[in-house]
Chain A
Amino acid sequence: MDNSWVISIGSIFAWAAPVIFGVMGETITERAGVMNLSLNGSLILTAMVGFVVGTTTNSFLLGFVAAAIVGALVALLIAFMSISLKQSQVAVGYVLAIATKSLAYFLGAPYVGKPVMLLPQVPIPLLSSIPIIGPILFKQTILTYLSYVAIFVCFWWIFKTHQGLVLQGIGERPSAAYIRGVNVNRMRYIYTAIGGGLVGIGGALYSLSVKTWNGQLSGFDGIGWIILAITIFGSWHPLKGALGAYLFVLLQYLGIVLQPLLPNVNSRIFQVAPFPLMILALLFVNIGNAEWVDRTLAGLPENVRRTIAKVLRAMRTSPPAALGIPFEKE
């Protein structure tokens, strides 16, 4: 059997891992009611930090820890400006997105061309010998496995635990959470920092596993903005967000694979196509939110309508109502 396509599909999961960490981090942050718009910049900054610390200390662990800390610090800066100083999260986040990116390229310049070290693949015994699925999913780096874990932990935390309800509550209606005894602002700080930490791991993952630090991350710069969009289209739901992340990486990957096969098509189309296709696909996921669906449904027989409405209602999630709004007790 020709294994090359299996390896290719496997690499989609590896490429997607940084995006997954970013989406999970942003999902948690926004669920808490804070918008971390600095994502694009902090991904690049943490990619640089992860690479520099990792290669100079010769330790992957230290690289990831340092990147997570830097990601959390950037997020905490946003938390401080918006929660404590009540400044606009959009303005602060946007400025930080630019500042952290420039900082990364500036501080990282001397390290361009340093000896590369890439995270090794660690096949999981037994699981990796399952035909087809095994080599695709379970012949990856540890961090890629962790990206799978992160998706399910986020899902489980948000929807199955008491603390997850608190997380949803502070983003949804902080005043109601407050009367239930929740220290809203402290929790927002904590979740913003955790979210930023996850983003940091995503950044380091890019420079230590997918590509390397070469001073100008042309394939990576811009992903942060896409992650923000995936978070929104994924309706702040870890599973939907993950689906969006994989879909996006798949589309990007197809662009590269199909290009030589279809020489008549302008190559720019392959580069741009993932973006509109992404929007269409995710629009479909969120179809339950559209009003015309409601109106169309009204014409159907009662029991059919009820069933469909129930399914759609279960699919529907609206943005955290207090997203971007600082909480003040009277």
Chain B
Amino acid sequence: MDVEVRNIHKTFGKVHANNNISLTVKSGEVQGILGENGAGKSTLMKILSGFISLDAGSILLDGKEVNIASPADSVKLGIGMLHQDPLDFPPFKVLDNLILGSHEGMIPNRKKVRQEFIELQKQFDFSISPDAYIDSLSVGERQQLEIIRLLWLGAEVLILDEPTTGISAAQKLQLFAMVRKLSEQGKAILFVSHKLEEVGALCTQVAVFRQGMNVGQMRPPFDNDKLVEMMFGKILTRSDKKCCAQENVNIEVSDLKIDDARLPIKNVNFCIQKGEVIGLAGMEGSGQGLLLRALAGIIRPTGGHLWLHEENGSKRDYVGKHYFDFKNEGISFLPADRLDEGLIAGLDLKEHFILAEKQNGFFVDTKAALQLTEKRIKDFNIKGTAENKVESLSGGNQQRAELALLRQPLRLLLLDHPTRGLDIESTLYIWSKLKQRCSEGASIFFVSSDLDEILQYSDRILVFFGGKVSKPLDANGVSVDQLGQLIGGRGWE
């Protein structure tokens, strides 16, 4: 089915989220839609999927103008949207999730649905059990399930909204293979992303959105520099890969053992040098998160040592110490879920700084806090004011705020997916700030599902597979392929 939107306008208050956007996607095309956060990509997709109504403009399917007033309308017309966080029912069984909202009658014919589900799955080599509970599936599998559900309902146009956020490298390959197959079948696909590499690998044409406008189209071969310039209206320079690692050992991990019911980890041995960046690669849930939390003092290891080395050569074992002791030693942890674990939704930036800083006396020194907050907002280029509640900030600005909240000086910074969901500009900014910390002597230990990010910024890499931890690999001597093999469980002794 061909989709066309003509002169779409949509405003939210003063913000012109979609300003005269026109776009045509023919059947069989994979249309990439690039743009930084807030460029208007999601608004257009929500209009197409019936979540929000347009102010002006028209939508045409196969040349016929249609009116989409609700998500149900858009599904009936053959438009299916995969939301960033798949909109399914976690406690349901796969089959029930499929049946809800289908055209099944009073008593659903489970046998028939099961058969149809298995047939559809076969086409794409998926193997999700129809009787599995959704909350036991990974995000990648839930995406697969959601796409299958949309196809089952007869979707001819598929909208994928940032689908690669939060899935593993292997699942990404599966997803891409599925998208290619669907486009061969003649489906029109809209692939929303802010990652150039993905768009380049998958799309047959790309539109770039900036400030609510469609600022240009491109067909392959894609000129990445040109695309970036279109996205940001200026040329961005990537920081050179520069190594700040020093000779001195910062932290030594020896024979570390973590008891976890599902994923016991043992015999972990490595040293972290001062100023070094170590990237943790592996499929989600292979043990990276556990090690990260053990080093932060949140999980208590059941054996081994965690030596903190001092300038004068002495060392102290920190296994079994309290999280606050770790924090006092300058070991800080930034969780992946910024609003749930990292920041406190409902409090504004100033209040965050009051909480983060050591307080003197009983009463809050609002004036000093305000000064500090405003200074940090400037230092870290946060788009927001001291009185902005953190949940009103964009993801990139929340992450900047988290970095701004860290104490000085730092010994070790532990990051769980530091740039998940951020656009390129924010990602570059965050990493420039992190590298600055490294040059001051802090070591960085980070988990990411983006292999390019790991290769780009790490000095050394640890690969995880099913609770096994590899020896540290030199990031300069290893390729994406090699890493992919290790992550997939091949090449381990």
The docked-state distance in angstroms from the alpha carbon of A298 to that of B259 is 11
Contact B100 A166 (CB under 8 A): yes
Take A169-B100, A180-B101, A182-B101 as given contacts and tell me if A330 and B52 are in contact as well, using a CB distance cutoff of 8 Å: yes
Give the residues in chain A near B88, CB-CB below 8 Å.
Answer: 173, 176
Please determine whether A179 and B71 come into contact, CB atoms closer than 8 angstroms.
yes
Query: Are B107 and A160 closer than 8 Å at their CB atoms?
Result: yes
Report if B92 contacts A (CB, 8 A): yes
A176 touches B104 (CB 8 A): no
Measured between beta carbons, the chain B residues less than 8 angstroms from A329 are 51
Given known contacts A166-B100, A330-B46, A179 and B87 CB-to-CB distance under 8 angstroms? yes
Q: Which of B46, B51, B89, B106 contacts A173 (CB 8 A)?
A: B89
Question: Which residues of A from 147 to 178 have beta carbons under 8 Å from B?
Answer: 160-163, 165-166, 168-169, 172-173, 175-178
Given contacts A162-B105, A172-B90, contact A178 B71 (CB under 8 A): yes
Given known A172-B91, A172-B92, A177-B100, contact A162–B71 (CB-CB < 8 A): no
Contact A181 B101 (CB under 8 A): yes
Nearest A residue to B51, CB-CB: A330
CA distance in complex: A181, B80 (Å): 12
Inside 8 A of A317's CB, which chain B residues have their CB?
91
Closest to B12 in A: A330
B74 to chain A minimum Cβ distance, whole angstroms, is 9
A180–B106 alpha-carbon span in the complex (Å): 16
Closest-by-CB residue of A relative to B88 is A176
Q: A172-B89, A175-B87, A317-B91 are in contact. Are A181 and B261 (CB under 8 A)?
A: no
Cβ of B106 and Cβ of A321 under 8 Å apart? no
Nearest-neighbor residue (CB-CB) of A318 within chain B = B91
Q: Is the C-beta of B404 less than 8 angstroms from some C-beta in chain A?
A: no
Quick check: B87 and A176 within 8 Å, CB to CB? yes
Q: Please, which residues of chain B bring their CB within 8 A of the CB of A162?
A: 99-100, 102, 104-108
Q: Give the residue name and chain of the B residue nearest to A173 (CB).
A: B89
Distance between A4 CB and nearest chain B CB, rounded to angstroms? 44
Q: CB of B72 within 8 A of chain A? A: yes
B96 at interface (Cβ–Cβ under 8 A)? yes
Q: Which residue of A lies closest to B49 (CB)?
A: A179
A187 to B385, CA, bound (A): 41
- Cα–Cα distance between A33 and B261 once the two chains are bound (Å): 33
Contacts of B261 in A (CB 8 A): 294-295, 298
CA distance A295 to B102 in the complex (A): 39
Q: How far is the CA of A289 from the CA of B138 in the complex (A)?
A: 21
A175 to B52, CA, bound (A): 13
CB distance from A313 to the nearest CB of B (A): 7
Residues of A within 8 A of B104 (CB): 162
What CA separation (Å) do A175 and B50 show in the bound complex? 13
Q: Which residues of B78-102 are within 8 A (CB) of A?
A: 81, 83, 87-92, 96, 99-102
Could you tell me the distance in whole angstroms from the C-beta of B244 to the nearest C-beta in chain A? 42
A173:B100 contact, CB within 8 angstroms: no
Q: What residue of chain B has the Cβ atom nearest to residue A317's Cβ?
A: B91
Q: Which of A285-330 contact B (CB under 8 A)?
A: 294-295, 298, 313, 317-318, 321, 329-330
Establish whether residues B90 and A173, one from each chain, have CB atoms under 8 Å apart when the complex forms: yes
> B99's contact among A165, A181, A295, A313, by CB below 8 Å, is which?
A165
User: What residues on B are CB-neighbors of A178 within 8 Å?
Assistant: 71
B133 at the interface (CB under 8 A from A): yes
What string of 1s and 0s marks CB contacts (under 8 Å) between A270-291 and chain B? 0000000000000000000000
Contact assessment for A163 and B87 in the assembled complex, using a CB-CB cutoff below 8 Å: no
Within the assembled complex, what's the spacing in Å between the Cα atoms of A177 and B96?
Answer: 12
A181/B70 in contact, CB under 8 A: yes
Q: For the complex, give the distance between the alpha carbons of A166 and B184 in Å.
A: 34
A147: shortest Cβ distance to chain B, in Å? 24
Expressed in whole angstroms, the minimum distance between the Cβ of A255 and any Cβ of chain B is 37
- Residues on A with beta carbons closer than 8 Å to the beta carbon of B83: 179
Q: How far, in whole Å, are A176 and B51 apart by their CA atoms in the complex?
A: 12
Chain B residue contacts of A166, Cβ below 8 A? 100-101
Name the contact of B101 in the complex, choosing from A160, A177, A295, A298 (C-beta under 8 A).
A177
CA distance A318 to B88 in the complex (A): 16
Complex interface: chain A residues within 8 A of B102 (CB) = 162
Q: B75 on the interface (CB 8 Å rule)?
A: yes
- B residues 98-121 with Cβ under 8 Å of A? 99-102, 104-108
Chain B: minimal CB distance from A312 (Å): 12
Measured CB to CB, the closest approach of chain A to B151, in angstroms, equals 15
Q: Are B100 and A180 in contact (CB under 8 A)?
A: yes
Q: How far is the CB of B110 from chain A (nearest CB, A)?
A: 10
Q: Which A182-228 residues sit within 8 Å CB-CB of chain B? A: 182
Decide yes or no: A165 and B75 within 8 Å by CB, A295-B261, A317-B91 being known contacts.
no
Do A313 and B101 form a contact, CB below 8 Å, given A175-B87, A176-B89? no
CB distance from B31 to the nearest CB of A (A): 21
Q: Which residues of B have CB within 8 Å of A330?
A: 46, 51-52
**Min C-beta distance of B205 to chain A, whole Å:** 27
Complex alpha-carbon distance, A171 and B263, angstroms: 33
Q: Which residues of A contact B70 (CB under 8 A)?
A: 181
Q: How far is the CB of B15 from chain A (nearest CB, A)?
A: 14
A94 and B89 alpha carbons, distance in the complex (Å): 30
A293 to chain B, nearest CB (A): 11
B residues within 8 A CB of A173? 87-90
A166, A173, A180, A295 — most chain B CB neighbours (10 Å): A180
In angstroms, how far is the closest chain B Cβ from the Cβ of A137? 28
Contacts of A181 in B (CB 8 A): 70-72, 75, 101
Known: A162-B99, A181-B75. A168 touches B107 (CB 8 A): no
Note all chain A residues with C-beta closer than 8 A to B81: 179
Give B contacts to A, CB under 8 Å.
46, 49, 51-52, 70-72, 75, 81, 83, 87-92, 96, 99-102, 104-108, 133, 261-262
Q: Can you sample 11 A-B contacts with CB below 8 Å?
A: A162-B100, A162-B106, A165-B92, A165-B99, A165-B100, A172-B91, A175-B87, A177-B101, A180-B100, A317-B91, A330-B51
Additional A-B contact list (11), CB under 8 Å, known A177-B101, A180-B75: A161-B106, A175-B87, A176-B87, A179-B51, A179-B83, A181-B70, A181-B72, A181-B75, A295-B261, A317-B91, A330-B52
What 6 A-B pairs come out closest when comparing CB atoms? A180-B101, A181-B72, A298-B261, A176-B87, A179-B71, A165-B100
